[in-house]
Chain A
């Protein structure tokens, strides 16, 4: 991992995130109705956005793999699904912490919450599938198919708050929150985005190294191919 990305991006994203959260906790005004409880928005909303970004990266990598088989795309898909699942789970937990004082319950069977829970279970299934298939090429193809089918959920999660108006409010975006909260939300979101990119790159490199170690094993490549071009190559580049 390049020195800049390993330390520079990490330091930058932590600094931006810390600034955003400081702005959110200390500088932005408390919510008129919810008071200080609302300040969790500066953590919860960026987490969910970043999770969506990571899941979308997973979808793009899976579709691209259908057109061009490459270990890099497969590693990207694996990394983004894992990072997205962690961020989405953290987003759901912070939502529950906020829900208890505001709605009176940790969990409600609201379309937004339900559709996100379905999404998280679907991506868990995707990651389980990856662990249960030994052949790297088959794993890459099959998990791409599952990722594409599962991604149909993403727009449902995103638009659920608009399609079914229920308990969960519409997305907190610079357009829907008070102008005085916009800056803190924007800075927190960029900090979260940077740290997501950092996580993605780190996990991607690890996944790629794992894959290369895997296909370097003689029994992972077809025997005729291994004999013809040495044990280090495989059909996908």
Chain B
């Protein structure tokens, strides 16, 4: 009689275990979060230096600058999220576990979303102070857009980070693949943020949030389905 085969681990259990592992690494080093916070802060400052101290212009475009800072920081965060796995061949170890490979996608994408949302939450007060904007409609709306926008950057970003982390010239490749893809998400997140900051007389907030939701639905499903093919050997 052969030994009983180990019971496969459920998708949710595996996802949570991997997410916990990633967050623990993040918490113990705090290297990634610190790096992207200072990078994003520097980006926000750079916009005002590049454009000159025109407060009206900065205030008008604050939503766009805010999301560009998050986008640039996300490239660093996404690239780094797979670098920890390529050291000591950790990815091979994870793949050996009798668990669904899609759990790796879910945990990485959720981890990136959490990191970017935390970054965004820290950037909001800085943006308010630097660009002289105020939150006109509601903080809940801003939080919703922040979450949806970070989800939208993380799903395709995780797929592309997994690819580019194994390719040559990965630092060039990730933004080259990711930027054109996330333009619809970036556009709707920036528009919706501007509406939160400057008032929404035409009631357009819902449609931009809906567009972001649709983007998320497409890319989370496509990433979930295709990810196992990327990491198979």
CB distance from A157 to the nearest CB of B (A): 12
- How many residues of A sit at the interface, in one of the four size bands? 20 to 34
Q: Can you list 15 pairs linking A and B with CB atoms under 8 Å apart?
A: A66-B229, A125-B173, A125-B180, A126-B177, A128-B173, A129-B167, A129-B173, A132-B168, A132-B173, A133-B167, A133-B168, A142-B167, A145-B230, A146-B160, A149-B159
Q: What residues of chain A lie closer than 8 Å to B181, measured between beta carbons?
A: 122, 149-150
Bound-state CA distance A129–B161 (Å) is 12
Q: What residues of chain B lie closer than 8 Å to A180, measured between beta carbons?
A: none
Question: Do the beta carbons of B229 and A141 come within 8 Å of each other?
Answer: yes
CB distance from A220 to the nearest CB of B (A): 15
CB distance from B79 to the nearest CB of A (A): 14
Chain B interface SS verdict (over half): helix
CB distance from B88 to the nearest CB of A (A): 21
20 other A-B residue contacts (CB within 8 Å) besides A125-B173, A149-B219, A150-B180: A119-B180, A121-B180, A126-B177, A128-B172, A129-B163, A129-B164, A129-B167, A129-B177, A133-B167, A133-B168, A138-B166, A141-B229, A142-B230, A144-B229, A146-B160, A146-B163, A149-B223, A150-B181, A152-B218, A156-B184
Bound-state CA distance A122–B181 (Å) is 7
> Across the A-B interface, how many residue pairs have beta carbons closer than 8 Å?
62
Question: Do the beta carbons of A149 and B168 come within 8 Å of each other?
Answer: no
10 shortest interchain CB distances as A-B pairs: A121-B180, A122-B180, A125-B176, A125-B177, A132-B168, A132-B167, A142-B163, A145-B226, A118-B180, A133-B167
CB distance from B152 to the nearest CB of A (A): 13
Q: Flag whether B24 is at the interface (Cβ < 8 A).
A: no
Binary B-proximity of A200-211 (CB < 8 A = 1, otherwise 0): 000000000000
Chain B residues at the A interface, C-beta cutoff of 8 Å: 156, 159-160, 163-164, 166-169, 172-173, 176-177, 179-181, 183-184, 218-219, 222-223, 226, 229-230, 232
Chain A residues at the B interface, C-beta cutoff of 8 Å: 66, 118-119, 121-122, 124-126, 128-129, 132-134, 138, 141-142, 144-146, 148-150, 152, 156
Q: What residues of chain A lie closer than 8 Å to B218, measured between beta carbons?
A: 152
Contact status of A145 and B168, CB under 8 A, knowing A118-B183, A121-B180, A128-B176:
no
Bound-state CA distance A149–B182 (Å) is 11
CB distance from B220 to the nearest CB of A (A): 12
CB distance from B153 to the nearest CB of A (A): 14
Bound-state CA distance A132–B170 (Å) is 9
Nearest opposing residue in chain B for A118, CB measure: B180
Bound-state CA distance A124–B176 (Å) is 8
CB distance from A58 to the nearest CB of B (A): 15
Bound-state CA distance A141–B167 (Å) is 13
Bound-state CA distance A115–B223 (Å) is 22
Q: What residues of chain B lie closer than 8 Å to A145, measured between beta carbons?
A: 159, 163, 226, 229-230
CB distance from A188 to the nearest CB of B (A): 30
Contact status of A148 and B173, CB under 8 A, knowing A118-B183, A132-B168, A141-B230:
no
Bound-state CA distance A118–B223 (Å) is 20
Interface centre among B167, B184, B219, by most chain A C-beta atoms within 10 angstroms, is: B167
Bound-state CA distance A148–B232 (Å) is 18
Q: What residues of chain A lie closer than 8 Å to B159, measured between beta carbons?
A: 145, 149
Bound-state CA distance A121–B232 (Å) is 27
Interface centre among A66, A124, A149, by most chain B C-beta atoms within 10 angstroms, is: A149
Contact status of A149 and B156, CB under 8 A, knowing A122-B181, A134-B168, A142-B230:
yes
Nearest opposing residue in chain A for B168, CB measure: A132
Q: What residues of chain A lie closer than 8 Å to B176, measured between beta carbons?
A: 124-125, 128
Bound-state CA distance A138–B164 (Å) is 11
Q: What residues of chain A lie closer than 8 Å to B180, measured between beta carbons?
A: 118-119, 121-122, 125, 150
Q: What residues of chain B lie closer than 8 Å to A133, measured between beta carbons?
A: 166-168
Nearest opposing residue in chain B for A65, CB measure: B229
Nearest opposing residue in chain B for A143, CB measure: B163
Task: Tell which of A66, A118, A134, A146 touches B177, judged by Cβ atoms closer than 8 Å.
Answer: A146
